[in-house]
Each structure stands twice: as C-alpha cells, then as structure tokens.
Chains A and B, each alone.
Chain A
C-alpha cells in the first residue's frame, strides 16, 4: 500500500475535569481514495475523532499527517480549506444563494468570478442539479435532498483531496437517503476522494464503506477492516453484537447490481405490432414484455392480457416499470424494490436510463449463496491460521 492519505498517530483527546479521555491513543491509517467509516454507539467518540482531523477539536496529544505532512501545527483555517466538510444539518448559509454557498472556499482562496461561476455550474451538474435553475436560489427554496447535494457540492468546491462527512444522510427521510447514498457512491466512483464518514448506522457503514472502523467507548478501535470481513469474521463479541443479527441480509448491502449476472426479460420497441410482441412473450419463460422507447429506455411492462386489449395503444397498456435501479445500487435496494414490483423484477438501467437487464429473486438468491460460500471459505482459512482477514486492531 502507498503512503496513507491520512495517518493518525497516538491521537488522544482529554477534556479537563473528566478522568476518562474521550479519545484514547488512536493509531489509524486512512488509504487514499477510500471511504473509511467511523461507526459506533453514540458517545463513543467517533465524531470527536473525526473533528480532530480538521482540528475543529484540537487533539490533546498525538500527531495527524495528511499526505505525509504533519498538520497538527499548521494554520487550522488553511488546513480546513483543503478538507471538504459535510455535516448532518448540512449548514448551508441561508442568506446566500446556492452559487455563493458553493463559492465560499473559492472566494477565500481568491478565485476570480468567471472561474468560480464555471466551477459552481460544473459542481451542480456533478451532483445532479440543474445549474440554470438552482444557482440563484436560496437554501430555503430547496428540499432536504437538494440541500444535501448542495452541501456535497460546496465541500467539493476546490477539489480537496479529503472529505469529512458527519452523518451526512442522517437528517433525510429513508427513501431519499437511499437514493442519495447511491448517487454519492456513483459520484465517488468518479472523483475518488479520500473520505472519512461518521455514522451510528451499521447498515449505512456496510453499504458506504470501503473500510469500517468500529469504535467502542473512548473511541478505541474494536475492529478496522473491510465490511466483508467484519460481517464474516467479527473480531469479538462487541463487534458481533454491534453488527447485529441478519448478517446474510446485510451482506446484500455489499454486493451491487453491477457485480451480479443480470437476467434478460423479453423486450420490444415501442411501436412494434402486437402480434410480434406476443410472439416475443411466448418465446420466453417470463410473464411480461418490457417495452423500450427509441433510446432504449423502459416504458411499460406488458402482459399477454395487455396485448389483447385493443382499446389503448400498447405503450399505454400495462404498468409503468417502477422498480428501476442503476448498476451501483446494492442488491438490498434491488430486493426492496422487487418486493413491491408487479413482476418480481427490478429493471436495471445506466445513468442515461438505458435498459441493461433485470434483477429478479433468482439473481439475489444466487448472489447470497455465493457470498455465504465465500465467507465460509474465508473463515475456514482463518481458522487454519494460514491467513488473517485484514488488520484487526485492539481486542
């Protein structure tokens, strides 16, 4: 492994008047380009630990390195301008337009107006907001999900190598949260930042993290490892307890739609005549045909009965495909949508909405079996002592 992007060395935080330190002697390497999650019960010191990286909280002792340089003594404001920061409440400035919010750090770094404007538009586009519409709006005119995206855009303004995110999806309703998480993962695949992400939600940690540090009281590290290893080989009872029951179900959060083999449902272009659609359906073992528009985007599921209905055009018969996922969605997302869908299948599309295939129950069951097999093999290997899964700190 290369030099870590961030290295914590014996980082400790003591508050006066408290006999136990809030954070006690943490050593931790955070590799470049990964999402590292700090997760643990409330009061375990995970947020304190994160805030010591941008020195919103000054460590009592220990040193912090960023890109190999000790940043424990540099000017904290200059340090923070190189570290994106997103908090749960997002903290957009209500009296500034979206443009000015995003331009906060560029302005401090003395960028000129034209460069800043171009960057603001680029970022809004990156987080999926129409720049022409949103740049001159105020935060109060935005929905929670839109504000969250602006918060991310603002943190990315000067393309900092590191981002700190403190429960960034915590204050958002579960459905929007799922979507934003997926969007964020897709964004991260593009930008490859080093991200430290704090959450109390182990499911979120498993879904979002390349690595997870499970912290217990006093921010001591119970286990620091990949989600896969934590699920299949928890370091101790505390970790096993914290991960909780339903580890197989949680593993669904580890596999993404793009990692499994898609099934192919019969498709037909909008405008194909009924007889031909019927023969396509008959030729397959499925119960419905997916109609695609001129850009191969899914329009309708049609069944044999819909084909027989002649009172409406075929593309208005049948049901709209509501269960639609993108390749970076987790199998858990896909499964959730599938359970509510009419044909037991989630349609997979790419970022432009083009049809790629489908995920159905058979796909999921197959993936779960494969993961269980893999986990068993790893456990066996670990038991034989031939290898140890990841670095297991403390315990």
Chain B
C-alpha cells in the first residue's frame, strides 16, 4: 500500500520533530493537570462539608467543561494573548470538574465512624483531613486526576489554534494544506502521538495510584 509505505517514511523522517512535539504536548498537559490538582483538590477540601458551596463549585466547573474548546481558546485570546499561557488557563478549566468532583465524593465517602474515632482521639481538623480523610479518599481522587489527564491530552491539541505548544500544531498545519500528499501523514502522525501519549500517561497513573495507595485500602 503506497500510503502506508510513505507514512512509514514520513514517520522515520520526522521522528525527531514528532518526538519533540509529543514532549511539548505532555508538558502542557501535565503542567495544567498539576495546577488543576492544586486548585481542584483545594476547592474540594474547602467545600465537601458544606452544601451550598459544594453545589456551586460543581455547577461552575461543570459549566467550564461544556464550553466548546475552540470557543474557549478564542475567548482567552484577547485577555491573555497567544501562546502557552492562555492554553494552560483553558486546560486547567477543563481539568477541574473531574478532580473537584472526585475529591468531594472521595472525602464524603470516608466512613464517619473512622473520622469520629480520629476526632475522639484528639486529632484536630487539619490533621484529620491530611492524615485520615485525604489518604482514604485518595484512590477516588487519583481516578479523577486520571480522567482529567485523558481529557486534556485530547483537548490540548486544539491549543495550537492560539499558537499553543504540542502535537496540535501538526494537525492544524495539515488542515491548512488539505489535499497535499503530506497532509494526511502529518495529521495521522500527530493523532498517533496523542493516542500513544494518552495510553502512556494512563499506564503511569495506574502505577502511581498503586504506589501511593496504602496496602490497607487497596483492592
């Protein structure tokens, strides 16, 4: 098959470049997830015990995730300009909902008897949260982080529309020259890179999840 052969040639020829773009892609995804974890877990911790703030934060982050990505990137263009900065802001907004929601769910599912016995032994609010509740909620929280990462690996490609980094660049370049022989190869290579990155990160989360979850609460 001619396309197949020429795609293989394209891939070997462009491997350095594709690798570089994949690294960029991974970087922006992980930076955005990292920021979203700080805010998302923080907001979850602040709101899981109080009804109204909890509903409010879930509603707001829920709205974020419904905004079409192309539109959000464009909207951020005027206040933040082009490049990495608006891309990260948008990606953080998309990543928040799964993290906030799972943090709240995880914390609320901790057996109240366990929290009461911690309190009865003289553990203060902060110690209870950090030593007991968060570690017990952690398997659920990390699942949320994993879902967010998967979402971002896909959406990050769109960031190229505002000159963001990553594999999206090649997709948009291919779009610009539809009909030329390299267009399909270029787009295909970028998509493959994104899928591979998604799988790799997912695997990494399984490993990290296992390593960071106490043996006492593992399945």
The residue on A at minimum CB distance from B125 is A77
Assess the B216–A96 pair: CB atoms within 8 A.
Answer: yes
Q: Does B111 contact A (CB under 8 A)?
A: yes
Shortest CB-to-CB span from A106 to chain B, Å, is 11
Assess the B122–A95 pair: CB atoms within 8 A.
Answer: no
Shortest CB-to-CB span from A108 to chain B, Å, is 6
Shortest CB-to-CB span from A251 to chain B, Å, is 34
Assess the A80–B121 pair: CB atoms within 8 A.
Answer: yes
Assess the A91–B122 pair: CB atoms within 8 A.
Answer: no
Q: Does B119 contact A (CB under 8 A)?
A: yes
Number of residues in A with C-beta < 8 Å to the partner? Answer: 29
CA distance A379 to B118 in the complex (A): 47
Interchain Cβ contacts within 8 Å, total number: 73
Assess the B215–A138 pair: CB atoms within 8 A.
Answer: yes
Q: Does B4 contact A (CB under 8 A)?
A: no
* Cβ proximity bits A136-179 to B, threshold 8 Å, 1 near / 0 not: 00111000000000000011000000001000000000000000
Q: Report A-chain residues with C-beta under 8 Å of the C-beta of B3.
A: none
Q: Does A85 contact B (CB under 8 A)?
A: yes
Choose among B113, B127, B214 the residue that contacts A96 (Cβ–Cβ < 8 A).
B214
Q: Does A87 contact B (CB under 8 A)?
A: yes
The residue on B at minimum CB distance from A136 is B215
CA distance A388 to B122 in the complex (A): 41
Q: Report A-chain residues with C-beta under 8 Å of the C-beta of B116.
A: 56, 87, 91
Q: Does A263 contact B (CB under 8 A)?
A: no
For residues 72 through 96 of chain B, which have their beta carbon under 8 Å from a beta carbon of chain A?
Answer: none
Shortest CB-to-CB span from B111 to chain A, Å, is 7
CA distance A92 to B115 in the complex (A): 10
Q: Report A-chain residues with C-beta under 8 Å of the C-beta of B124.
A: 77
Q: Report B-chain residues with C-beta under 8 Å of the C-beta of A91.
A: 111, 113-114, 116-118
Q: Does B217 contact A (CB under 8 A)?
A: yes
Assess the B122–A79 pair: CB atoms within 8 A.
Answer: yes
Assess the A138–B216 pair: CB atoms within 8 A.
Answer: yes
CA distance A138 to B214 in the complex (A): 9
Residues of B whose CB lies within 8 Å of any CB of A are 111, 113-114, 116-124, 127, 132, 135-136, 214-217
